[in-house]
Amino acid sequence: MEFFQHLSSGIVLGCIYTLFSLGLTLIYGILGLVNFAHGELYMLGAFLALFAVATIGMNYFFGMIFAVVMMAIIGIVIERLCFRPLRGMHDTSVIVSTIGLSVLLQNLAIYVFGADPQRLTTDLTEVMVRFFGLAFSLQRILIVVVTVMLILLLNYFSKNTKTGKAMRACSQDLTAAKVVGININRITLITCMVGSALAAIGGGLVAPLYLVSPVMGIKVVVKAFAVVIIGGLGNVPGAILGGFLVGISESIAAGMISSHMRDGVAFGILILVLLFKPEGIFTKRIQEKV
Amino acid sequence: MKTRSKLIYPVLLIAAVAVPFFVESDYVMHTLIMSAIYALLTMGLNIITGFAGQLSLGHAAFFGVGAYASALLTLKMGMNFFLAMSCAAGMAWVMGVMLGFPALKLRGPYLVICTIGFVQIMHEVFLNWISLTRGPMGIVGIDYPPTLTLGSWTIDFSIPLNYYFLVLVFAVITFVIILSLLNSKLGRALKAIREDEIAAECAGINLTYYKLIAFSLGAVFAGIAGSLYAHYIGYISPDSFVLLESINILVMLVLGGMGTMIGPVIGAAGVTFLLEYLRFLAEFKLIFYGLVLMVVMVVAPGGFWGFITRLGFAPPGSKDR
């Protein structure tokens, strides 16, 4: 029974990692840049949800919508001001620049919201649901439901809409996509919007469970890198599976073996993957062309 | 143009020697010493990232290993400072090889994330190996290096001016070593690897060998810097050797100018002083710092030195090239 309890909390954790990593891997797949500031998008999402609920006095549902819309706008601004000028630049410049963005956003959050961790209280965390002897708060169930819905929605969007198809084309080959008449700037803008909104949803969903603080993003971003690499950079199904793999194994290792194991697990898996299948578990090996 | 850029080396050295004599406040002196220590670190990273082109965020781990090794050897085993420093450099070298091996296969973002993992692992080790490192409490009471007696001269390293010159001596030695390596077979091989790994391999350059050399050499200089840092500050804790420290070192390198000789030195001193003198901005300090990083990378990807001389190598593939 204890195992199933750990398994279920692992699934919740996996959902959070998945939401986070999806945006990261989308942005990498299409813009080709590793976004070190992604953790800050997640953190800002949580703070905006908190702000909407605690300060403006919206209910949690509208607070989430507020946070997501705001973060989608911020995603557009970031793409325009930071990512677009970096397109085609060397990795080092991109990484240092997004690190700069991360420092900027994090300290902006400290200035605006304060450095102290805060708690977002909603009705959902108090309600416990029991079945088969396992206890869940409603919030955890909400996280799973929202994540599954978003994954299905994203899948539908990328397979059946014109924009979604264009996004997949861009992630395969940016130049070829340009040749067939896809407006690249529009696609990168939408990608950043979606990635940033997904991070915000993750942040907003987590806010009632854990404390909201300006450093919450950094803690997750390093794990999310592990997730994204395990699944294969730029690989969307890989990010989903990797997210659940890391979330579940982390939770089980922490519960069944020792809580010190928690942070080590993701990196343990990461090292194994890098040693044996560095392109990610769920990606086909492609020979590099010269 | 080339000779003119070489003229700057003695000018820089004279400036580095002369500056402390015009400094009166201890605070500025402290910043100077820290700049020199960071210059050592940045020059080490420059071998890995600037010359060999292997972007690494693992430098804080080598720095930490050097600091802990040197502090523990002097405190627990009563070892002489200079001997302990050599051992610390040796341990950092081992760490460099350890990071170098998995890094051989990896490129670009994969390599960066691997090195981030390395820093995290070392941080956990410093934090959790309590019987040795005292964990989060850190190590206190690390002494200054013993007083050196040269004939009738006694050099007391607890005086900041003397400590500055101690660090400067190591920085100059490092500079000279790197400069001479750069013009040797090793330096040319590293640059070839940076420009195009596959082409370099085809030309008969042993990638494994040269990449390991780059990582271990960079690590050795970081180990020495760690030792100098530990004995200067007198207190080390795991919090000093985190990812943010690696980022700081990378920022110094990139802002100064990667793959140049002068860039790391200017970057280290510039960023150290910038961060101290931006204190008046209070909470805006780091916001401003982040903004500077973003803008500089877009406007001048070759860093300060690359921007000034245009001789500096901008990172391959950048617009600046």
Q: Which of A261, A260, A265, A276 is closest to A14 using CA atoms?
A: A265
Domain boundaries, chain A: 2-213
Neighbours of A150 (CB within 10 A): 19
Cβ of A99 and B117 within 8 Å?
Answer: no
Cβ of B109 and A105 within 8 Å?
Answer: no
Task: Report CA torsion sign: B294, B215, B95, A266.
Answer: positive
How far is B182 from A227, CA to CA, in rounded Å?
A: 38
> In chain B, what is the straight-line distance between the N-terminal and C-terminal CA atoms, in Å?
18
When pLDDT is averaged across residues B147-173 and rounded to a whole number, the result is: 79
Kindly state the DSSP code that residue A125 receives in the 8-state scheme.
T
Q: What pLDDT is recorded for position B4?
A: 55
How far is B221 from B263, CA to CA, in rounded Å?
A: 17
How far is B76 from B73, CA to CA, in rounded Å?
A: 6
The closest CB to that of A93, out of B116, B198, B297, belongs to: B297
CA distance A118 to chain B (A): 19
Which of the four pLDDT bands, split at 50, 70 and 90, describes residue B225?
very high
Render each residue's pLDDT in chain A as its tens digit; 290 residues. Answer: 677 788 888 888 888 888 888 888 888 888 878 888 888 899 998 888 888 888 887 788 888 889 899 999 999 998 888 888 887 777 777 888 888 888 888 888 888 888 788 887 776 667 777 776 677 777 888 888 888 888 888 888 888 888 888 888 888 888 888 888 888 888 888 888 988 998 889 888 888 888 888 888 877 887 888 888 888 777 788 888 888 888 888 888 887 777 666 777 777 787 778 777 777 777 666 655 55
Cβ of A91 and B55 within 8 Å?
Answer: yes
Contacts of B117 in chain A (CB under 8 A): 222, 226, 267, 270-271
When pLDDT is averaged across residues B84-90 and rounded to a whole number, the result is: 87
Q: What pLDDT is recorded for position B315?
A: 46
A169 is written with which tokens? 């084309």
Which of the four pLDDT bands, split at 50, 70 and 90, describes residue B136?
confident
- Spell out the SS3 assignment of chain B: CHHHHHHHHHHHHHHHHHHHHHCCCHHHHHHHHHHHHHHHHHHHHHHHHHHCCCCCCCHHHHHHHHHHHHHHHHHHHCCCHHHHHHHHHHHHHHHHHHHHHHHCCCCHHHHHHHHHHHHHHHHHHHHHCHHHHCHHHCECCCCCCCCEEECCEEECCCCHHHHHHHHHHHHHHHHHHHHHHHCCHHHHHHHHHHHCHHHHHHCCCCHHHHHHHHHHHHHHHHHHHHHHHHHHHCCECHHHCCHHHHHHHHHHHHHHCCCCCHHHHHHHHHHHHHHHHHHHHHHHHHHHHHHHHHHHHHHCCCHHHHHHHCCCCCCCCCCCC
CA distance B100 to chain A (A): 13
CA distance B61 to chain A (A): 16
Domains of chain B (ranges plus CATH)?
A: 2-309 (1.10.3470)
Residue in the structure block whose two tokens are 């990593």 = A21
Q: What pLDDT is recorded for position A69?
A: 92
Kindly state the DSSP code that residue A233 receives in the 8-state scheme.
T
When pLDDT is averaged across residues B194-199 and rounded to a whole number, the result is: 81
B11 is written with which tokens? 């000018």
Q: Are B303 and B58 in contact (CB under 8 A)?
A: no
Q: Are A245 and A224 in contact (CB under 8 A)?
A: no
Q: Which parts of chain A are beta strand (E)?
A: 128-131, 134-137
The closest CB to that of A96, out of B102, B120, B293, belongs to: B293
What three-state secondary structure class fits A231? Answer: helix
Instruction: Give how far Cα B112 sits from Cα of A223, A236, B32, B57, Å.
Output: 14, 21, 30, 6
* Chain B residues within 8 Å of chain A (Cβ atoms): 49, 55, 102, 105-106, 108-110, 112-114, 116-117, 120-121, 124, 128, 198, 243, 247, 250-251, 254, 258, 283-287, 289-294, 297-298, 301, 314-319
How far is B158 from B107, CA to CA, in rounded Å?
A: 44
Which of the four pLDDT bands, split at 50, 70 and 90, describes residue B316?
very low
Q: What pLDDT is recorded for position A286?
A: 60
Q: Which of A90, A107, A269 is closest to B275 using CA atoms?
A: A107
Cβ-proximal residues to B154 (8 Å cutoff; 6+ apart), any chain: B147, B148
Q: Which residue of B has its CA nearest to A230?
A: B110
What three-state secondary structure class fits A122? Answer: coil
Cβ of B109 and A91 within 8 Å?
Answer: yes
A110 is written with which tokens? 């400290």
